[in-house]
Chains A and B, each alone.
Chain A
Amino acid sequence: MPDNSDYALRPSEKLDVLYRLFRGENICDLIDNMDNTSVIGLQKFMWETAAEFGIISRKHNFSRKEITRKMKPTQQFQKEQNCDERIYFCKGTHCIHSNSECARKKIKEHIKVMSESIREYIETEQHNETFVQSTLS
């Protein structure tokens, strides 16, 4: 089984993700043209970026839960997919090799939530910056 570092995106792919993200473009579309390994790499990179931006924006109040609670509960997702695997099997990293279509669907949903969270952190900081500037001027 590959370890976590084997799923890293190429630097140029990360650059592409940031370029789209900061332009408000859809990140999920990238998945359709990626192989399984890169899809997991994308999910990992989005998590890292969302956490980094969350910490800067929310400071000590940041918790990964504020992102995960916007995601569809695994039980519900499995039910919708008529999947009777054990619940802890329902990870993109696990199923992507056996049931790629279903895993990609789940990862797409997660990436959409993470993109929205990152946009929210950016907007919060933009608001704070504007507030500080208007207070100082």
Chain B
Amino acid sequence: MKIGEVAVISQNGQQKDDFIRSICRKIDLKNERISFGKFDANDQLALHLYGLSIDDQDNDLSWDLISRKMLGYIVIFDWENQISLESIKPVVDNLSYNMRAPFIIIANIKEGKKPPIPSSFFKNKGIVLSTDFRFTFGQVNKPESARKSLRLLVDMLLERVNNF
């Protein structure tokens, strides 16, 4: 079986778990900082999602060790919370400069709220910030929304293949 690995990163541990649950239906394994879920596309292909929390006090995750084999990264922050935005910034820069995989930043919108801009600006390919870096809005606890973000990541991977 072929396995693709995706890292799901958030400051708020709940958001990464919500995202993994939205895709995989359940969390298979969980400790203080890492959660794990798997999605079997068929008997030949599976996606493994690793949820990582950014800890304000201890931002020493060994990205170089964790990240080498990842297909891509999904970084989540709370749109209404500037502290949440600030916390992901070093991670975003780190990933951008040190990793070659594509990544998506999801500004998570709370239940009952709407994104600040119409969906036509981000629904197809996100807001392109560079070849490997897209920004989008979403609701990570909603399976349909989480799947859209994951599809965006897959599209970015396919674009890379097409560009070779």
Contact = CB atoms under 8 A, between A and B. Distances in A.
Interface of A: 8, 10-12, 14-16, 18-19, 22-23, 49, 52-53, 56-57, 122, 125-126, 128-129
A15 to B, nearest CB: 6
Contact of B92 (A12, A23, A125, A128): A12
Contacts of A8: 130
Given A18-B127, A18-B135, A52-B128, A12 B93 contact: yes
Given A8-B130, A52-B127, A122 B93 contact: no
Nearest to A22: B116
Interface residues of B, number: 21
B92 A15 contact: yes
Nearest to A10: B93
Contact of B130 (A11, A18, A53): A11
Given A18-B127, A52-B127, A52-B128, A12 B89 contact: yes
B128 to A, nearest CB: 7
B74 to A, nearest CB: 14
Interface of A, helix, strand, loop or mixed by DSSP: helix
Kindly name the residue among A8, A18, A52, A53 whose own CB sees the greatest number of chain B CB atoms within 10 A: A18
A56 B119 CA distance: 11
Nearest to A23: B116
Contacts of B90: 12
B36 interface: no
B31 interface: no
Nearest to A129: B118
B121 interface: yes
B145 to A, nearest CB: 17
A33 to B, nearest CB: 15
Nearest to A121: B121
